[in-house]
Amino acid sequence: MVEFSPERRYIEDVGIVLTGLGLPPAYGKVLGWLLICDPPHATATEIAEATGLSKGSVSTGIRMLESSQLVRRVANPGRRGIAWELSPDAFTRAAESDRFRIFRKLMDRGIELLGGERSPLTDRLVYTRDLYAFIERELPGFIERFKTEHAQKMASTQRGEADDRVGHQHREPDQDVRP
C-alpha cells in the first residue's frame, strides 16, 4: 500500500468525497490541493505534482472548476505559467447557483408528465420538488446568516490578535512573564 503525506491523503479524501457527489476524482483532487496549498495559488504543473494527476487531468479539472466559478486565474509574477486559486466565495457562490431551481423545475415537469400532484405516481416527485423548493426558498437567508456570523467571527479574531499584540508590547518591565 502506498503511504501518502497528510496533505496528499487530504487531497485523495476530497477526491473521494466529491466522487460520491458525482464529480470525477480529478476535480476533487485539484480542489483539495487548492484548499490547502501554501501559497494559496498554484500552477497546473504544481497541482499535477502535488496531486499525482496528469497535466491533462489537471487542465480538464481546472476548466470545469473555473466554469463553475470555484477557481480563478491569478497573477503569478516572476514565475512561468498561469496560477489558479480557490475563489474566496467559491462555496457560497456554488450554493447560490440556480441548481436548486433547475432541479425543482425538473421535478415539476415530471409531476405534470405523470398527471399532476394528485396522481399517486407522483409522490416521490412531489416530495423531492418540495424539498428543493424549500432549499431554494431558505438558502438565501441561510447564506446571509452565515456571512454575517463569519464576518463577526473574523472581526472578533482580528480584534483578539490586535489585543494580543498590544498586550505583549505594553508589558511592564517588572512583570514576571515566566510560567
Question: Which amino acid belongs to residue 49?
Answer: E
Which residues face 84 on adjacent strands?
42, 73
Taking only the tens place, the pLDDT of each residue in 55-110 is: 999 999 999 999 888 999 998 877 777 899 999 888 888 787 788 899 999 999 99
Beta-carbon contacts of residue 85 (< 8 Å; ≥ 6 apart):
34, 40, 41, 42, 71, 72, 74
Which pTM value belongs to this model?
0.72
pLDDT at 178 over 50: no
Per-residue CA distances from 33 to 25, 69, 167 (Å):
12, 16, 37
